[in-house]
Amino acid sequence: GDSVTQMEGPVTLSEEAFLTINCTYTATGYPSLFWYVQYPGEGLQLLLKATKADDKGSNKGFEATYRKETTSFHLEKGSVQVSDSAVYFCALSVVGGKLIFGQGTELSVKP
Amino acid sequence: GAVVSQHPSRVICKSGTSVKIECRSLDFQATTMFWYRQFPKKSLMLMATSNEGSKATYEQGVEKDKFLINHASLTLSTLTVTSAHPEDSSFYICSARAGGSQNSPLHFGNGTRLTVT
């Protein structure tokens, strides 16, 4: 069935470091791909999305490219800030509009 | 932007009682809402899809008699945890789709922390 696999956390970085959070997926058809962010005690916020192969989603300095050949949607940011500390979820949409989430990757950025 | 309001944000109840959680789309109409459950340091598990004016569609393994979902209007869906037990303690999150396309992004509420004592 459809699934999403993310790299395990927690990921701990110093401020201004480069961030990569790996995400791979298994799906039938051509799903849309999403990254959501969850700050402590809150719900999820959409960070970025890509709807077809080779699309690049970007927002707030974060980027991810929909790679059909490697079934990946890795999240990157060139210089992280303390305020980026959160849990990041990769997700894909399936028939019916439901989202299938990865297990989440906790990011902790130290000053 | 599209806002989804979830209430209450936290609730503590005694074992055997029922708890109702509300999910409202504040500035848009949502034909479809989704209910998720999140365990500590775990991913979100889809519980059910709530469709306005019809019965909810539950995911495999989710007890529909225990988790009652009602979607009476285009802006309100409710989840009632009936006869709650400590193992029902969790973080429940609702989401709603603002656009008509299945690829439109979902907007999430801030979640409800349920603790059953």
Q: How confident is the model at residue A9 (pLDDT cuts 50, 70, 90)?
A: confident
Task: Report the pLDDT value the prediction gives residue B102, as an integer from 0 to 100.
Answer: 67
| pLDDT tens-digit map of A19-35 | 999 999 999 888 999 99
Provide the shortest C-alpha distance from residue A88 to chain B (in Å).
Answer: 10
Task: Report the pLDDT value the prediction gives residue B100, as an integer from 0 to 100.
Answer: 67
Q: How confident is the model at residue B115 (pLDDT cuts 50, 70, 90)?
A: very high
DSSP B105: P
Task: Report the pLDDT value the prediction gives residue A90, as an integer from 0 to 100.
Answer: 96
| pLDDT tens-digit map of B36-70 | 998 877 788 999 999 888 889 999 999 999 999 99
| pLDDT tens-digit map of A96-105 | 778 889 999 9
Q: Is the pLDDT of residue B83 over 90?
A: yes
Task: Report the pLDDT value the prediction gives residue A30, as an integer from 0 to 100.
Answer: 83
- Greater confidence (A39 vs B1) lies with A39
- Greater confidence (A22 vs B27) lies with A22
Could you tell me the two tokens for A20?
């990569």
Residues of A in contact with B105 (CB under 8 A): 34, 46, 49
Interchain CB distance below 8 Å, A43 and B102: no
Interchain CB distance below 8 Å, A93 and B110: no
What is the C-alpha separation between B38 and B44, in angstroms, rounded?
5
Q: How confident is the model at residue B103 (pLDDT cuts 50, 70, 90)?
A: low
- Nearest residue of A to residue B104, measured between CA atoms: A97
What single letter denotes the amino acid at residue A108? S
Task: Report the pLDDT value the prediction gives residue B2, as an integer from 0 to 100.
Answer: 76
Residues of A in contact with B8 (CB under 8 A): none
- The DSSP result for B6-73, as a single string, is EE-SEEEE-TT--EEEEEEESSS--SEEEEEEE-TTS-EEEEEEEETTS--EEPTT--TTTEEEEEEE
What is the C-alpha separation between B81 and B64, in angstroms, rounded?
10
Optimal mutation site among A25, A101, A103, A106, interface B, most CBs of chain B within 10 A: A101
Q: CA angle, B98 as apex, B101 and B114 as ends, to 5°?
A: 120
| pLDDT tens-digit map of A50-92 | 999 999 999 999 999 999 999 999 999 999 999 999 999 999 9
Q: Is the pLDDT of residue B26 over 70?
A: yes
Residues of A in contact with B108 (CB under 8 A): 36, 43-45
